[in-house]
Structure 1
Amino acid sequence: MLGSGVVLTYWIFTSSLEVMAIALAVSPGNFSIAAARGPKDSIVKSGALTSQSPPNPASDTASRGLGDGIYLYGQSSKPDEIKKEYFVFELRESKVVGAFYLPRSAFYCFYGTAARNQLNLTVVDTYDGTRSPYSVNLPQYYPIAAISENDRRILGICKEAHKHEVWGK
């Protein structure tokens, strides 16, 4: 039986066919996996973590819901911290498209809907295109005001790749 947290491992195949694993520690309530995936998939549940308290108490913005715009959230209040998870997304009329990433690593696009302080998403595997449902509890992350050019570049790639699923265009 898993504890209150899980570790997600992303497998990234480099051009020399070496494998690099990036383990993302997911604290309780941050992510929930709607369905378990098979061992061939690139996102693998690999163990349990001890219980952690949420890093960020519910903010006024999260309790009111977000308006249309571009947002950056992270496990740290500082952008680009190594081994910290971040996600950038654009919200329009409760529809969302964006990416999860670790600084200096690969990213995974997502699309879905936003409700008050939660994102209900489909995450797309960068390498094989498989899709997995996820739910993100925004108050568990820190909002970050400074959105970098790299954040905008990653967001642009995901917006272009998934505009039909999100906005039908």
Structure 2
Amino acid sequence: MSFVPTFLFSLTHLRLLSIASLSLLISSGTISGNFVQAAEENSSHSQESSSEEVSLTRISGLANGVYLYGRSPEPETMGQEYLVFKVQKGEVIGAFYMPRSEFNCFSGSFDSRQINLSIIDPHDGMKYNYAIGLQVVSPVATNSRRSSEVTLEGYHRLGDLSDNDQRILDACLPSN
């Protein structure tokens, strides 16, 4: 089964599942545990909040620029999912792809806890909503002297874009 039908099937049906059903999907390896953890945090109405949760409520997203994230910490790993996107004034345009496969363009925006995406199926033009949690990584956790960094839950931030990454991104950006 190709990446697009599998990915879109997952997106379409995840919206209909309960937390218990999501746990079953995680145990079978169908989806990452980070998705359920974010869903559980979002459904919890607890008055107590840790310092990280307080920080998350202040997140406005990633700074303007071009980003590459992957499920793998290494670029171009076969069978792994990648995101290449551009952020400008809180708006996001980019693509999900797997190496040597087709890609799906998306657009979206940030809220205080996640990036909300609308993914376009290249075959029929239908849009599917999808959210990825934002996570604050403290400099202590990364042995860095930098300030806290915002990253995407379940993804690794990668370095420079390859020519292929740039080609995919350019295909999704509106023509000027």
Q: Fold conserved (TM > 0.5)?
A: yes
1:68 has 2:64 as partner: yes
Paired residue for 2:42?
none
Question: Percent identity over the alignment?
Answer: 34
Among 160, 166, 169, the alignment partner of 1:155 is: 169
**What is the deviation of 1:35?**
4.3
**What is the deviation of 1:139?**
2.5
Greater Cα offset, 119-128 or 130-139: 130-139
| SS of corresponding position for 1:98 | strand
Paired residue for 1:10?
4
Alignment of 1:69-84 (within 5 A): 69-84=65-80
Paired residue for 1:127?
123
**What is the deviation of 1:116?**
5.3
Per the normalisation by structure 1, the TM-score is: 0.61
Q: Return closer, same or farther for 1:33/1:118 CA change in 2, 3 Å cut-off.
A: farther
Alignment of 1:1-169 (within 5 A): 10-11=4-5, 23=6, 35=15, 48-50=25-27, 54=34, 65-115=61-111, 118-137=114-133, 138-160=152-174
Aligned residue-pair number: 125
**What is the deviation of 1:149?**
1.1
- Off by >2 Å, runs of 4+ in structure 1: 8-11, 31-36, 51-54, 62-65, 114-118
**What is the deviation of 1:155?**
0.5
Q: Return closer, same or farther for 1:53/1:133 CA change in 2, 3 Å cut-off.
A: closer
Q: Return closer, same or farther for 1:148/1:158 CA change in 2, 3 Å cut-off.
A: same
CA distance in 2: counterparts of 1:146 and 1:79, whole angstroms: 10
CA distance in 1: counterparts of 2:68 and 2:13, whole angstroms: 21
Larger proportion of helix: 2
How big is the alpha-carbon RMSD for the aligned residues of Structure 1 and Structure 2? 3.4
| SS of corresponding position for 1:111 | strand
Per the normalisation by structure 2, the TM-score is: 0.59
